[in-house]
Amino acid sequence: MKNFIKHDFEQRTSLSSESKWSLLLSTLRSISEALKLSVIFHILRQIIHFGSWRIFPIALIRKLRPPLASSDENKQSLLGIIDEKEIAEELRQNSVSVIGLLPPEFVARLRQITDRLPYEEYQLVHQINNEVRLLTQDPGIMKVLRAYLKCEPVLLEASLFVSKSEKSLPQDGQNSFHFDYAGWESLNVFVYLTDVTENSSYHEVAQGSHRDVRFRDIVRGSLSIEEGKQRFGRAIQPITGPAGTLFFENTEAFHRRNRGNERRVMLNLLFASHQSLLSHGRASPEQLEIRNQAFKSLGVL
């Protein structure tokens, strides 16, 4: 009993110190944005991140955090039967791999909630939704992540983006070609939860562009649609598909969101090769409260 209490106390203590660190980082991010320091900080961080020296920390992480031999690997995956090595190779070459459709009954369960959610970005949804949690732990997804990252992956984000028709809205940063990054290496798992056609806010990616991030790109941050078309040409792949379409993408590839004319819901799971101190605090308490209120109002929390 004593041991249990001690263990419980230690666990709660470590959780609370982690959430304190997250809160501190989240506050520092808000302050630096208000003081316009975030742009300079962002550029410096990207110079460090994309420098040729990155091969050393990547190799070190692979050594320190080798992929775990999971007992789940033989369990059935929502992706069906996949060849993770082939998918990992496709990702290395093309930055993206479209896997196909998740089982319809699984998508229907998820859509019972997501079809009713108000326009918003909901973060860390795996904490409050069982289907999203299952996806974050899916044996097939884990196999692809391990084959690609060559280390044990860490989940950093599980966000639901519920966006409205953007046709009459001014263009925002997500509509231009840009790249993101997390940890030293990272992969996104995207799932459309509405049917996405060429009229929708579909995701578009420049194949192979994660290997072509230049110094000028780091300073500028993004490319206009026209510049992106000139530079990447036929490598640009618009991704459309019915609800349940799942694809993997290297976070560092140039991508953009089309300004579509209808409501679109997309799930974004972000996995990285490790969790750095700076990757905490991505979701603020206010954002988590908005998430909780929305799910409560639907009677699912």
Which residues sit at the interface with Fe ion, rule CB under 5 A? 180
Q: Cα–Cα–Cα angle for 113, 97, 106, nearest 5°?
A: 25
Quote the least distance from Cβ 283 to Fe ion, whole Å.
Answer: 16
Phi (first) and psi of residue 267, to 5 degrees = -100, 135
Cβ nearer to Fe ion, comparing 73 with 121: 121
Cβ nearer to Fe ion, comparing 172 with 180: 180
Quote the least distance from Cβ 233 to Fe ion, whole Å.
Answer: 21
Cβ nearer to Fe ion, comparing 8 with 180: 180
Residue with tokens 């510049």: 227
Quote the least distance from Cβ 227 to Fe ion, whole Å.
Answer: 16
Report DSSP letters for 232-248, one per residue: HGGGEEEE-BSTTEEEE
Quote the least distance from Cβ 105 to Fe ion, whole Å.
Answer: 30
Distance CA 86, CA 105 (A): 27
Query: What residue is closest to Fe ion based on CB?
Result: 180
> Computed over its alpha carbons, how large is the radius of gyration of the chain?
20
Q: Do residues 283 and 123 make contact, with C-beta atoms less than 8 angstroms apart?
A: yes
Q: Which tokens belong to 47? A: 């110079």
Distance CA 238, CA 86 (A): 21
Quote the least distance from Cβ 178 to Fe ion, whole Å.
Answer: 6
Cβ nearer to Fe ion, comparing 33 with 180: 180
Cβ nearer to Fe ion, comparing 83 with 180: 180
